[in-house]
Amino acid sequence: MSRTTVLPSPAVPSRLGRLTETERRVWKAFPLGQLVDLRTGDPELDDPAGADAWPAGRSVRGEVLAALLLGACPAVPGAVAALRLAGARITGELRFDHGTVSSLLFLRDCCFEGAIVLDGAVAESIDLSGSRLVTLSAYGARVHGTFDLRDTVVGGADGVAVHADGIRIDGGLLVNRCVTNGSFDLIHAEIAGQVAFVDAQLRSAGPGGVCLNAGGMRVGRSLLAQRLRTRGELRLPGAQIGSSLLLTGAQLDGDGADALYAPWLSVASETALRLHVADPARSEHGEDVDRPFSARGTVQLISARLRGGLDCSGAQLTATAGRPALEADRMVVEGSLLLTAGFHTEGEIRLTAATVSGHLDIRGLDSPKAVLMLQAASAAGGIHDRIDCWPEQLRLDGFTYGPFIEYRDAKERIPLLRRQARTADPGRLGAFRAQPYEQLASYYRSIGNDGEARTVMLARQRALRAVLLPRWRRVPGAALDLLVGYGYRPLRAIGWAVALLVASSAYFSQVRPVDVSREDTSVFNPVLYAADHLVPVIHFGESDVWQYHGVAAVVTVVLTVLGWTLGIAIAAAATRTLTRN
State how far the Cα of 203 lies from the Cα of 56, in Å rounded to an integer: 32
pLDDT for position 426: 54
Residues 401-452: pLDDT tens digits?
999 999 999 999 999 998 887 665 555 566 778 899 999 999 999 998 888 8
The edge-to-edge listing of strands for the beta sheet with 132-133 is: 59-61, 89-91, 111-112, 132-133, 153-154, 179-181, 201-203, 229-231, 251-253, 294-296, 316-318
CA 365 to chain centre: 14
333: region left, alpha or beta (phi > 0 left; psi from -120 to 50 alpha): beta
What are the φ and ψ backbone dihedral angles of 226, each rounded to 5 degrees?
A: -60, 135
Residue 336, pLDDT above cutoff 90: yes
Q: What does the alpha-carbon distance between residue 72 and residue 294 come to, in Å, rounded to a whole number? A: 51
pLDDT band at 5 (very low <50, low <70, confident <90, very high): very low
pLDDT 10s digits, 353-395: 999 999 999 998 999 999 999 999 999 999 999 999 999 999 9
Per-residue CA distances from 121 to 72, 141, 161 (Å): 17, 5, 19
Q: How would residue 1 be classed by pLDDT, with cut points 50, 70 and 90?
A: very low
pLDDT of residue 520: 64
Cα–Cα distance measured from residue 268 to residue 326, given in angstroms and rounded to the nearest whole number = 21
Q: How far apart are alpha carbons 16 and 403 in whole angstroms?
A: 75
Is the overall model pTM greater than 0.85, yes or no?
no
Q: pLDDT at residue 344 above 70?
A: yes
Lowest-confidence pick of 179-188, 204-213, 411-420, 493-502: 493-502
Residue 46 contacts residue 87 (beta carbons within 8 Å): yes
DSSP β-bridge partners for residue 393: 371
Q: What pLDDT score was predicted for residue 476?
A: 59
Percent over 70 (pLDDT), the chain: 86
In the structure, what pLDDT confidence band is assigned to residue 563 with cuts at 50, 70 and 90?
Answer: confident
* Residue 209 CB coordination number (10 Å): 19
Strand 514-515 vs strand 546-547: parallel, antiparallel, or unpaired? antiparallel
pLDDT higher than 50, residue 530: yes
What average pLDDT does range 188-217 have in this prediction? Answer: 94
3-state secondary structure of 174: strand
Res. 263 pLDDT band, cuts 50 70 90: very high
Q: In what order do the strands lie in the sheet with 355-356?
A: 122-123, 142-143, 168-169, 190-191, 218-219, 240-241, 266-267, 305-306, 332-333, 355-356, 378-379, 400-401
Residue 514 pLDDT: 77
Helix (H, G, I), strand (E, B) or coil at 431: coil
Query: Would the pLDDT of 554 be above 90?
Result: no
Whether residue 196 contacts residue 219, with contact meaning beta carbons closer than 8 Å, is answered with: no
Residues of the chain with pLDDT > 90, as a percent, come to 62
Cα separation values, 49 from 30, 110, 153, 203, Å:
26, 10, 9, 18
| pLDDT the model gives residue 479 | 58
Average pLDDT over residues 335-349: 93
What are 48-88's pLDDT values in tens digits? Answer: 999 999 999 999 999 999 999 998 888 888 889 999 999 99
pLDDT category, 4, cuts 50, 70, 90?
A: very low
Summarised one tens digit per residue, pLDDT across range 475-528 is: 555 556 555 565 666 666 777 778 877 888 888 778 877 777 766 667 777 787
Closest by CA position to 307, among listed 342, 269, 252: 269
Q: What ranges make up the beta strands (E) of 287-441?
A: 294-296, 299-300, 305-306, 310-311, 316-318, 326-327, 332-333, 337-338, 348-350, 355-356, 360-361, 371-373, 378-379, 383-384, 393-395, 400-401
72-81, 144-153, 210-219, 429-438: lowest mean pLDDT where? 429-438
Taking each helix axis from N to C terminus, what angle separates 21-29 and 62-69, rounded to the nearest 10 degrees?
A: 20
Give 6's pLDDT tier (boundaries 50, 70, 90): very low
Whole-angstrom distance, CA of residue 15 vs CA of residue 66: 12
Average pLDDT, the chain: 86
Q: How far is CA 485 from CA 115, 451, 478, 490, in A?
A: 79, 13, 9, 8
Tell me what pLDDT residue 443 has.
94
pLDDT the model gives residue 287: 60
Q: What is the pLDDT of residues 9-26, one digit of tens each?
A: 567 888 888 999 999 999
Which segment of 99-113, 166-180, 228-242, 446-460 scores lowest on mean pLDDT? 446-460
Cβ–Cβ < 8 Å for 141, 121: yes
* Nearest C-alpha neighbor of 189 from the set 213, 210, 209: 213
Is the pLDDT reported for residue 453 higher than 50? yes
